[in-house]
């Protein structure tokens, strides 16, 4: 006979946290939301830790270049969507890496004989206005000067004007010498009130730039997630079909962590994918796997070598897998079960494998519930799709601004690899929908407000860190009447805008 689970599966909306004693030190500014991303041995620390427990979903309508940089600035990680060509995804990784760093290789380079029209074309292509003028027009040629937007006026100059006539020559430039530290370079920038400091070799060849805006960005975002070269940390999705070609390209492009994007991860296909990565790169390439909804699925992927395991099937707002196929589990129950298996695995093997809760988040406090139930971090789709930085269009629908949002299993995305079971290379039926979500503004302001709520709730539970929340949290199942009582009721609201959930 089929196996029947004794308890019904529950969603986050069916639980509330019961407050615990809070000491005077329990205030939101003292709360740490740091969370491990990759597995680590007992007594050691994770090789990759986030400042905030949020990552963005591996989706066309969510994780593009702008959102990846914006989320890294907040301290989280974005996983660039995999349903595109290998070349396109690798280029996205490189672009995110170039958008923030300490010493930046110049991507705008001209010779003195080039023209203002060439400068304008470069600016339109790269989006950067600082141009290095080198003897041979290469990023490592002898530096002769630089051009910034303050050196020319398109409305009053002939586009054919040679660069040598309006560039700032090397004799008038403040430069740094290769080998200088980032701190020393920033000191020079501040002392001379510069926007950019060219770094040159002892032979006078161009090496890199250090930009004032990168320093300012770091001071404004002290929790931003950077690699060893002061570039944004960025993740990338992979699938179980073309991983032998895609993984090397993404690793070469600089991806910090990979994630197998699949609706169901308890499969031989995922084990094969992880085995390929381990055989070729050992533990140097980090890869998460999933999705699973129980302890058996977690154990399978942990034994296969996954660095983190994603939990959730059918709980996303645009996912209809449960409706189409009848598989899945309530997200709260799935997280609890997998977290218990994670803890047992840690006790047995000495390896801690972080758990990511993917889907089922409807209100801000559901993030806190997921963390309390054992998740190390949450993957969000619709939450980020609403933001300015997501790659979709903002449209006016019935007088309200919305953003487009579609599932990877929808006819629009046609990401058949995500639902691959070894059959034909096509999407035979939909497991996602095409939709709109209310436009919400900048990612920064949304994340700031959400995490303020998470920190405040953690203080109500007497916890100053995510591990402490797990130990101290007390949860209660609620009835339908309790849910109704918990919202505004028996009054006529003047303004309903606050009442909207974010997901």
Instruction: Catalogue the active-site residues.
Output: 319, 418
- Longest Cα separation, the chain: 85
Long-range contacts of 164-168 (CB under 8 A, 24+ apart): 164/112, 164/113, 164/133, 166/116, 167/112, 167/133
* E strand segments, 231-374: 235-238, 257-260, 287-292, 308-311, 351-352, 355-358
For residues 383 and 503, give the distance between their C-alpha atoms in angstroms, rounded to a whole number: 5
For residues 456 and 311, give the distance between their C-alpha atoms in angstroms, rounded to a whole number: 25
Paired tokens of 40 = 């680590």
Among 5, 4, 12, 8, CA closest to 311: 12
* E strand segments, 9-142: 15-17, 35-36, 40-41, 49-50, 54-56, 77-80, 109-110, 131-134
Q: Is 312 within 8 Å of 357 (Cβ atoms)? A: yes
Among 320, 302, 331, 332, CA closest to 263: 320
Q: Is 176 within 8 Å of 198 (Cβ atoms)? A: yes
Q: Is 369 within 8 Å of 475 (Cβ atoms)? A: yes
Going by C-beta distance under 8 Å and a sequence separation of 6 or more, which residues neighbour residue 99? 65, 69, 232
Q: Given the structure tokens 């909207």, which residue do they identify?
A: 500
Using the 8-state DSSP alphabet, how is residue 34 labeled?
-
* E strand segments, 442-487: 475-477
For residues 464 and 27, give the distance between their C-alpha atoms in angstroms, rounded to a whole number: 8
3-state secondary structure 108-160: CEECCCCEHHHHHHHHHHHCCCCEEEECCCCCCCEEEEEECCCCCCCCCCCCC
Where on the phi/psi map is residue 200: left (φ > 0), alpha (ψ -120 to 50), or beta? beta
Going by C-beta distance under 8 Å and a sequence separation of 6 or more, which residues neighbour residue 331? 11, 12, 311, 312, 315, 357, 359, 360, 370
Neighbours of 147 (CB within 10 A): 23
Cis peptide before 140 (omega within 30 of 0): no
């Amino acid at each position: 006979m089929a196996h029947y689970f004794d308890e019904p599966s529950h969603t986050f909306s069916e639980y509330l946290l019961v407050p615990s004693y809070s000491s005077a030190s329990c205030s939101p500014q003292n709360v740490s939301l740091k969370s491990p991303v990759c597995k680590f041995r007992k007594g050691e620390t994770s090789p990759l830790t986030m400042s905030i427990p949020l990552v963005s979903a591996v989706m066309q309508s969510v994780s593009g270049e702008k959102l990846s940089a914006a989320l890294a600035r907040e301290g989280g990680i974005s996983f660039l969507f995999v349903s595109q060509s290998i070349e396109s995804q690798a280029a996205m990784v490189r672009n995110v890496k170039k958008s923030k760093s300490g010493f930046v290789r110049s991507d705008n380079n001209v010779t003195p004989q080039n023209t203002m029209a060439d400068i304008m074309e470069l600016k339109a292509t790269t989006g950067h206005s600082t141009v290095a003028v080198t003897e041979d027009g290469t990023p490592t040629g002898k530096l002769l000067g630089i051009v910034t937007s303050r050196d020319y006026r398109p409305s009053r100059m002939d586009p054919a004007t040679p660069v040598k006539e309006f560039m700032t020559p090397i004799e008038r430039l403040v430069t740094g010498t290769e080998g200088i530290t980032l701190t020393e370079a920033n000191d020079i920038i501040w002392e001379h009130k510069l926007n950019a400091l060219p770094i040159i070799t002892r032979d006078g060849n161009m090496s890199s730039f250090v930009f004032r805006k990168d320093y300012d960005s770091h001071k404004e975002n002290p929790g931003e997630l950077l690699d060893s070269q002061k570039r944004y940390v960025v993740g990338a999705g992979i699938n179980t079909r073309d991983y032998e070609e895609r993984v090397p390209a993404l690793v070469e492009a600089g991806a910090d962590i990979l994630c197998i994007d699949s609706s169901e991860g308890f499969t031989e296909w995922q084990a094969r994918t992880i085995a390929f990565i381990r055989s070729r790169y050992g533990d140097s390439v980090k890869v998460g796997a999933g999705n699973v909804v129980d302890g058996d699925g977690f154990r399978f992927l942990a034994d296969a070598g996954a660095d983190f395991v994603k939990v959730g099937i059918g709980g996303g707002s645009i996912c209809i897998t449960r409706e189409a196929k009848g598989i899945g589990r309530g997200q709260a129950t799935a997280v609890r079960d997998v977290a218990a298996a994670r803890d047992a695995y840690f006790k047995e093997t000495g390896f801690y494998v972080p758990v990511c809760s993917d889907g089922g988040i409807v209100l801000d406090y559901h993030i806190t519930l997921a963390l309390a139930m054992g998740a190390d971090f949450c993957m969000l789709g619709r939450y980020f799709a609403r933001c300015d930085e997501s790659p979709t269009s903002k449209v006016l629908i019935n007088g309200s601004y919305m953003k487009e949002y579609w599932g990877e299993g929808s006819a629009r995305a046609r990401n058949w690899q995500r639902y691959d079971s070894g059959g034909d290379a096509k999407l035979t039926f939909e497991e996602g929908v095409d939709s709109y979500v209310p436009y919400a503004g900048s990612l920064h302001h949304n994340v700031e407000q959400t995490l303020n709520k998470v920190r405040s709730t953690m203080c109500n539970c007497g916890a100053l860190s995510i591990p402490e929340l797990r130990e101290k949290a007390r949860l209660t199942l609620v009835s339908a009447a309790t849910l109704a009582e918990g919202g505004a009721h028996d009054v006529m609201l003047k303004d309903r805008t606050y009442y909207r959930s974010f997901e």
